[in-house]
Amino acid sequence: CGVFGCIGVTDAANFVALGLHALQHRGQEAGGIVSYAPDHGFNSARRFGYVRDNFTKQSLMETLPGALAIGHVRYSTAGSKGAAIRDVQPFFGEFSMGGAAIAHNGNITNAEALRRELIERGSIFQSSSDSECIIHLMARSLQRDIPSRMEDALRRVEGAFSVVAMTRTKLIGVRDALGVRPLVLGKLGDGWCLSSETCALDIIGAEFVREIEPGEMVVITEQGVESTKPFRAKRSRFCIFEHVYFSRPDSIIGGQSVYETRRQIGVELAREAAVDADLVCPVPDSGTPAAIGYAHESGIPYGMGIIRNQYMGRTFIEPTEQIRNMGVRLKLNVNRALIRGKRVVLVDDSVVRGTTSRKIKEMILDAGAAEVHFRIASPPTAWPCFYGVDTPQREKLLAATMSEEEMRDHLGVDSLKFISLDGLYRAAGEDGGRNNAHPQYCDACFSGEYPVEPADMIEKGFKL
Ligand code: 5GP
Ligand code: SF4
Ligand code: MG
């Protein structure tokens, strides 16, 4: 998901809508905005579909007045498919000291246990979302101000969270102690904003100030930014998959360009897995920067052998398998004139179920390619993510049940190579590779080493 908030600017909801539009790649199912104005109180709008189709209408935006607003773009993760509008964030709660709205990116790994406990004690849940627990935990807190109630609530929550919240006068941002999901602070004129990624600051002309640190809470008022570290300090475990795929390539993470990291992954891949070939082709768009790096390092010409229809979204975000299967063809087509007779290296970011790769291989061979070699910009995805990225159950992951050779045969390609974990870490700026005693990132979907125990899933029988 993507989160964005603004304080101290006229018609904050308009800026939030633009910010969410720039974060649309993080969630395409639905979006929501809450705003506050002293004469109008809190107002909210939640809609299915793209930001540009909803939050551009003047008639809707006029219902969201005020200098303070937050918003959320949603994509459903495991266990919450087929969202109802009541699952669309931000969530809102009334407390004795006033209202508050919250937008959450990440996934709470003990949400089911918390929900059971809260329901037993009288909470009335409105949605099926894990994020709603935070509001109910805040309602039960005895603290006298909302930021302290949020602190209380988030101390009980396990897993990954980057939260943007608001009261009548404050914009609040929090990251979990491991800093799994991103959150950045920006300055916009006299006002401030919080955003999942820097690309959403660029769109509104806000200046990037800094990242919110793992375990940090910032409370922003018209007077300025107050920072505390309410959560136990831990070594940061940022999601390495944000570098590989999830973030936009024009965002900056940890002082590094996402595009440059991806290009460097391609360079590492070319060193680790060279092959004699005539053409390097990205699987667009997610494989493009790595393909550019691979072509550069290997000296093999780069070409757009697959053309993407710009009007389709990210295939994997479509929630059902049926739509996902059709999606590949709806979205990608082969540039036959370029491919014919060539030995082609195809570069993609990841192999999850293998559906995309299989279809693409068929399309490339149909177009008359002489050989097809897959090069993947991440290690084999053998474990599900429980921290806010949608991966299917373990059984559906190709790499969970097959060796690399078996995957190659299953996909029917001449060769298949994945970047090593160390290579990926080097590309992400860790020159010494992965520190196996204390990994610098979360890489659970590749390594099976989960930095936070997925309590709900273990209860349901998931085996580490
Ligand atoms: P597959 O077809 O192998 O299931 O999915 C791989 C494609 O889905 C890749 O091209 C990649 O761009 C995209 N994808 C990236 N991340 C994810 C993810 O976390 N989950 C899923 N299901 N697909 C992803
Ligand atoms: Fe990111 Fe993978 Fe960790 Fe999920 S499991 S947070 S996708 S690195
Ligand atoms: Mg892709």
ipTM, two decimals, is 0.92
**Count of the separate structural domains present in the chain:** 2
Close Cβ partners of 300 (under 8 Å, ≥ 6 residues apart)? 277, 278, 279, 280, 294, 345
Task: Report the b/e string of 267-291 with b at 16+ CB within 10 A.
Answer: bbbbeebbbebbbbbbbbebbbbbb
The reply, when asked if residue 348 is annotated as ligand binding, is: yes
In a domain, 446, yes or no: no
Please compute, for residue 396, the number of CA atoms within 13 A of its CA located in the half-sphere on the CB side.
Answer: 11
219 and 325 within one domain? no
Sorted by sequence, the CB contacts under 8 Å of residue 89 that are 6+ apart come out as 1, 32, 46, 72, 74, 102, 103, 104, 129, 131
Domain interval for residue 216: 2-236
165: phi then psi, degrees, rounded to nearest 5: -135, 165
- In 3D space, the residue among 405, 333, 345 whose CA is nearest the CA of residue 369 turns out to be 345
At 199-229, the pLDDT tens digits run 999 999 999 999 999 999 999 998 999 999 9
239 in a known ligand binding site: yes
151 and 274 belong to one structural domain: no
DSSP state of 63: T
C-alpha pair distances (Å), 33 with each of 30, 39, 84, 89, 389: 11, 18, 16, 8, 22
199 catalytically annotated: no
The whole-angstrom separation of Cα 49 and Cα 234 is: 37
Q: How far is the CA of 328 from the centre of ligand 3 (A)?
A: 9
Q: What's the pLDDT tens digit per position in 409-462?
A: 999 999 999 999 999 999 999 999 999 999 999 999 999 999 999 999 999 999
Residue 350: CB within 6 Å of ligand 1? yes
Same domain, 172 and 291: no
Give which of 202, 296, 186, 308 is closest to 248, Cα–Cα. Answer: 202
Over pLDDT 90: what percentage of the chain? Answer: 89
Q: What DSSP element (H or E) covers 347?
A: strand 343-348
Same domain, 222 and 288: no
**Edge-to-edge strand list for the sheet holding 343-348:** 279-282, 343-348, 371-376, 415-418
Outline where 307-403 has alpha helix (H).
Answer: 321-331, 336-339, 355-366, 398-401
The answer, yes or no, to whether any atom of ligand 1 lies below 6 A from the CB of 50, is no
76 lines ligand 1 (CB under 6 A): no
390 assigned binding-site residue: no
Helix (H, G, I), strand (E, B), or coil: what is residue 82?
A: coil
* CB-ligand 2 contact for 445 (6 Å cutoff): yes
Q: Are 230 and 267 members of one domain?
A: no
Mutate to test the pocket of ligand 2, among 161, 261, 385 (most ligand atoms within 8 A of CB): 385
**CA-CA distance, 388 to 444, in Å (whole number)?**
12
Q: Is 244 inside any structural domain? A: no
- Determine which residue's CA is closest to atom 2 belonging to ligand 2: 445
User: Radius of gyration (Cα) for the chain, nearest Å?
Assistant: 22
User: What average pLDDT does the segment 330-347 reach?
Assistant: 94
351 Cα–ligand 2 center, Å: 14
**CA–CA distance, 100 with 149 (Å, rounded to integer):** 11
Does the Cβ of 242 fall within 6 Å of ligand 1?
A: no
Same domain, residue pair 42 and 123: yes
Q: Phi first, then psi: give them for residue 168, nearest 5 degrees.
A: -70, -25
Tell which wins on pLDDT, 112 or 80.
Answer: 112
**Domain shared by 230 and 372, yes or no:** no
Domain presence at residue 243: no
Question: Taking 70 as the threshold, does the pLDDT of residue 313 lie above it?
Answer: no
CATH no. for residue 366? 3.40.50.2020
User: What is the atom index within ligand 2 of the atom nearest the CA of 391?
Assistant: 7
Q: For 40-48, what is the mean pLDDT?
A: 97
Residues 271 and 176 both lie in one domain = no
The answer to whether residues 100 and 163 touch, using CB atoms and an 8 Å cutoff, is no
Lowest mean pLDDT among 97-101, 173-177, 388-392: 388-392
Same-domain check for residues 183 and 328 = no
Given the structure tokens 């930001």, which residue do they identify?
51
Determine if residue 349 is labeled as part of a ligand binding site. yes
CATH of the domain at 131: 3.60.20.10
CA 316 / ligand 1 centre spacing (Å): 5
Q: Is 387 in the pocket of ligand 2 (CB under 6 A)?
A: yes
Phi, psi dihedral angles at 298 (to 5 degrees):
-85, -20
Catalytic residue among 1, 133, 193, 281: 1
Whether residue 90 is preceded by a cis peptide bond, meaning omega within 30 degrees of 0, is yes
- Does 437 reside within a domain? no
Within a domain: 447: no
Q: How many CB atoms lie within 10 A of CB 98?
A: 14
Q: Same domain for 286 and 404?
A: yes
Domain-located, residue 456:
no
Pairing of strands 171-175, 184-188: unpaired
Distance 457 CA to ligand 1 centre (A): 21
Tell me whether residue 385 is annotated as binding: yes
Residues 268 and 140 in one domain: no
* Residue 218 resides in a domain: yes
Give the closest residue to 335 by CA, choosing from 281, 299, 286.
281
- The pLDDT tens digits for 246-289 are 999 999 999 999 999 999 999 999 999 999 999 999 999 999 99
| Domain stop point among 172, 202, 236 | 236
> Is 283 domain-assigned?
yes
Structure tokens that stand for 447 in this block: 């390594």
pLDDT in tens, 64-86: 999 999 999 998 764 455 668 99
- pTM of the prediction? 0.95
Q: Do 16 and 54 sit in the same domain of this protein?
A: yes
Q: Is the pLDDT of residue 315 over 90?
A: no
| Residue 9, pLDDT above cutoff 60 | yes
